[in-house]
């Protein structure tokens, strides 16, 4: 295995391992909400905290590894630097894990000030360990972003080259060629990523300071803004990282070429801005927030649909339309990931409408839509990447019957699981309730069945992946 592949698989396998653990926690939580099991709120909220932090980190790891690998094919990248970032993130994950089990930290992965410190049922060291863990994750993330930034800036001729500015305004920038779509994605993610990393460190240190000396007080509204800026953008960027290989994969499976166009570059500039300012929608129900920011939040959330659908989804659809698409598990996962992304986006747009948010804010509608594009989108993109690698390496793909089995269990289970969230959310069942009011327990029951079906499907996916991985490599690459 080449060094580049080793980096890729280190990231991917760690991501998938963390994902698997977190999925089991997710099922346990849903079963508790269905009242099939009773761990009690203490354990429920510890699981919720770990699941949120762990899942986002798991897909981020997949995204970081995948996009790094794509960039590695565009030029010289140091595996050492990628592993520095990896080590920091993994150390962070271990700290978060320890803070929750056995520590019992349960203030939610959003650790909204001052909750980690007030009414805690866990020891103080757990709070500190959790915060340090989050800090390490953002350090590793920021280091990764700096590496991507350095790469794209030097490879494509500075800001004007890497952002696509030269391309859009037809400025000849010899000797640098225009960046391919995945490089534009890497550049935009890196810029926004440095911003999120900064915010993460600022709020992290503020909370650690309060932890060590409680006389340091923090403004709760400021804390909310900074925390959600960090959390929202970090979660959001996992999708945009994955798009890098969706572009590449779609082009490979359809045998068509996908180039950077002016429109694509401009769309990514828009995305860069929207990712940074859409987070205001998390504060819609904070009426004291400076009012114009509420409007900015709604408009930015709305408009982010334009680059997403008109460029990334549209471009992928054009690649596929009446092409010689090879429908293997790899391409199926990439394509259905698009479906999850769009459908989750529709749920998000509804929730981003302030009059509707008044009824939906912090109901199960929120996990409904973000699970649709994180589980049904980013995670499927990650599976797509894994299968794409395995299929290319072995030159084989999975038999049709298996594709049907996996399709029915995975997507069927996922749909049932997600519908449980949507129906309950529309009926006002709050999110983050260990014990839900009606119709919560009912919808949680079928959601749990759906999640178990999904688990079954994913076990088949795993076994099939192992089978493909053990086939001899087609060429010595």
Partner 1 sequence: MSSSRRIAAYLIGALTLAAALAPLVSNEDVSIPEHHLLHALLLAGAVTTALLASPDTAGDRNGAWLIAVVGSPLLVMFLMWPSSYAYLDAHPMAHVGDHLSIALLGFLCTWSGQRYARGIGWIGGLATVSMAVLAAGGFGVVR
Partner 2 sequence: MAKGPLVLPAFLVLAAAAMAVLLLVALSTRLSPLPYSQVQPEGYKLRRWWFVILSLGLVAIFAVTLPWFPYPPLRAAAHATKNGTLYVKVIAQQYAFTTPSVLPLDRRIVFEVTSLDVNHGFGIYDPRGQIVAQVQAMPDYINHLPVTFTRAGHYTVRCLEYCGIGHASMQGGFDVR
Q: Please report, as residue ranges, which positions from 311 to 370 form the binding site for partner 2 (by CB under 8 A).
A: 314, 317-325, 327, 335, 338-339, 342-343, 346-347, 350, 353-356, 358-363, 365
Minimum distance, C-beta of residue 292 to ligand HEM, in the bound complex (Å): 28
Measured from the CB atom, the residue of 23 and 64 that comes closer to ligand HEM is 23
Site residues (CB under 6 A) for ligand HEM, limited to 409-448: 431-433
Secondary structure (3-state) at 103: coil
Tell whether omega for the bond before 302 is within 30 degrees of 0, i.e. cis.
no
Q: Specify whether the CB–CB gap between 234 and 194 falls below 8 A.
A: no
- DSSP character string of 284-350: TT-TTS-HHHHHHHHHHHHHTHHIIIIIIIHHHHHHHTTS-----HHHHHHHHHHHHHHHHHHHHHH
**Residue 291 contact partner, candidates partner 2, ligand HEM, partner 1, none, CB within 5 to 8 A by sort of partner:** partner 2
Site residues (CB under 8 A) for partner 1, limited to 144-163: 146-147, 149-151, 153-154, 158
The CA distance from 414 to 416, in Å, is 6
> Which token pair is 127?
């709070």
Pattern 368-397, binding to partner 2, x per CB under 8 A?
------------------------------
Site residues (CB under 8 A) for partner 2, limited to 61-80: none
Q: Specify whether the CB–CB gap between 375 and 416 falls below 8 A.
A: no
Q: In b/e form, how buried is each residue of 157-186, taking b as 16+ CB within 10 angstroms?
A: beebbbbbbbbbeeeebeebebbbbbbbbb
Q: Find the part of the chain contacting partner 2 (CB under 8 A) among 79-87, 168-176, 425-433, 460-468.
A: 425-433
Please name which of 148, 212, 224, 160 lies closest in space to residue 185, comparing C-alpha atoms.
Answer: 148
The CA distance from 337 to 62, in Å, is 14
From 306, 408, 459, 463, residue interacting with partner 2 (rule: CB under 8 A):
306
**Residue 388 contact partner, candidates partner 2, partner 1, ligand HEM, none, CB within 5 to 8 A by sort of partner:** none
To 10 degrees, what angle do helices 329-352 and 291-303 make? Answer: 150
Minimum distance, C-beta of residue 152 to partner 1, in the bound complex (Å): 10
State yes or no: residue 219 binds partner 1 (CB under 8 A): yes
With 0-12 / 13-18 / 19 or more C-beta atoms within 10 angstroms meaning exposed / middle / buried, residue 392 is middle
Minimum distance, C-beta of residue 199 to partner 1, in the bound complex (Å): 7
Minimum distance, C-beta of residue 106 to partner 2, in the bound complex (Å): 7
Measured from the CB atom, the residue of 329 and 380 that comes closer to ligand HEM is 380
State yes or no: residue 215 binds partner 1 (CB under 8 A): yes
Site residues (CB under 8 A) for partner 1, limited to 11-40: none
**How many residues of this chain bind partner 2 (CB under 8 A)?**
79
Minimum distance, C-beta of residue 37 to ligand HEM, in the bound complex (Å): 12
Q: Name 112's Cβ contacts closer than 8 Å, sequence gap at least 6.
A: 223, 224, 227
Site residues (CB under 8 A) for partner 2, limited to 180-219: 219
Cα-flanking dihedrals φ and ψ of residue 430, to 5°?
Answer: -65, 150
Q: Name 330's Cβ contacts closer than 8 Å, sequence gap at least 6.
A: 249, 253, 384, 385, 387, 388, 390, 391, 397
From 34, 135, 383, 423, residue interacting with partner 2 (rule: CB under 8 A):
423
Secondary structure (3-state) at 214: coil
From 100, 374, 385, 388, residue interacting with ligand HEM (rule: CB under 6 A):
374
Whole-number Cα distances in Å, 424 to 38, 169, 343: 20, 49, 17
State yes or no: residue 108 binds partner 2 (CB under 8 A): yes
**Residue 294 contact partner, candidates ligand HEM, partner 1, partner 2, none, CB within 5 to 8 A by sort of partner:** partner 2
State yes or no: residue 142 binds partner 1 (CB under 8 A): yes
Count of Cβ atoms closer than 10 Å to residue 111 Cβ: 24
Site residues (CB under 8 A) for partner 1, limited to 42-71: none
CA 229 to chain CA mean position, Å = 15
Q: What is the binding site for ligand HEM (CB under 6 A)?
A: 23, 26-27, 29-30, 48, 51-52, 55-56, 59, 108-110, 367, 371, 374-375, 379, 431-433, 451
Q: What is the binding site for partner 1 (CB under 8 A)?
A: 76, 78, 80-85, 135, 139, 142-143, 146-147, 149-151, 153-154, 158, 194-195, 197-199, 201-202, 205-206, 209, 213, 215-219, 221-223, 225-226
């Amino acid at each position: 295995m080449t060094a580049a592949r080793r980096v890729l698989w280190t990231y991917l396998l760690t991501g998938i391992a963390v994902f698997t653990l977190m999925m089991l926690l997710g099922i346990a939580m849903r079963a508790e909400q269905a009242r099939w099991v009773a761990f009690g709120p203490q354990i429920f909220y510890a699981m919720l905290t770990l699941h949120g932090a762990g899942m986002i980190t798991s897909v981020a790891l997949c995204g970081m590894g995948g996009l790094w690998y794509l960039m590695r094919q565009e030029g010289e990248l140091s595996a050492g630097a990628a592993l520095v970032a990896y080590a920091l993130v993994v150390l962070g994950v271990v700290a978060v894990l320890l803070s929750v089990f056995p520590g019992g930290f349960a203030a939610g992965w959003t650790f909204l000030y001052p909750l980690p410190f007030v009414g805690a049922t866990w020891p103080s060291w757990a709070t500190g360990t959790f915060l340090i863990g989050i800090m390490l994750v953002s350090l590793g993330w920021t280091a990764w972003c700096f590496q991507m930034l350095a790469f794209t800036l030097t490879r494509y001729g500075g800001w004007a080259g890497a952002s696509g500015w030269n391309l859009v305004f037809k400025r000849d920038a010899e000797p640098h060629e225009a960046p391919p779509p995945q490089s534009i994605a890497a550049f935009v993610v890196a810029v926004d990523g440095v911003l999120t990393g900064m915010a993460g460190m600022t709020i992290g240190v503020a909370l650690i300071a309060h932890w060590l000396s409680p006389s340091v007080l923090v403004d709760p509204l400021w804390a909310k803004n900074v925390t959600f800026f960090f959390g929202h953008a970090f979660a959001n960027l996992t999708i945009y990282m994955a798009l890098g290989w969706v572009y590449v994969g779609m082009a490979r499976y359809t045998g068509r070429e996908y180039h950077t166009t002016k429109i694509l570059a401009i769309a990514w500039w828009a995305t860069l801005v929207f990712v940074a300012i859409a987070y205001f929608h998390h504060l819609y129900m904070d009426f004291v927030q400076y009012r114009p920011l509420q409007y900015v939040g709604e408009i930015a959330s709305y408009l982010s649909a334009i680059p997403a659908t008109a460029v990334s989804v549209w471009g992928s659809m054009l690649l596929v339309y009446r092409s010689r698409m090879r429908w293997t598990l790899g391409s199926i996962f990439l394509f259905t990931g698009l479906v999850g992304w769009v459908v989750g986006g529709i749920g998000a747009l509804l929730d981003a409408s302030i009059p509707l948010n008044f009824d939906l804010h912090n109901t199960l509608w929120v996990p409904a839509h973000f699970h649709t594009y994180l589980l049904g989108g980013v995670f499927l993109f990650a599976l797509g990447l894994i299968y794409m690698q395995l299929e290319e390496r072995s030159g084989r793909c999975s038999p049709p019957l298996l594709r049907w089995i996996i399709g029915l269990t995975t997507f069927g289970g996922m749909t049932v699981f997600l519908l449980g969230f949507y129906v309950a959310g529309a009926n006002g069942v709050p999110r983050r309730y260990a014990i839900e009011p009606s119709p919560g327990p009912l919808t949680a029951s079928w959601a749990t069945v759906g999640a178990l079906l999904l688990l079954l499907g994913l076990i088949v996916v795993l076994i099939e992946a192992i089978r493909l991985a053990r086939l001899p490599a087609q060429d010595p690459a």
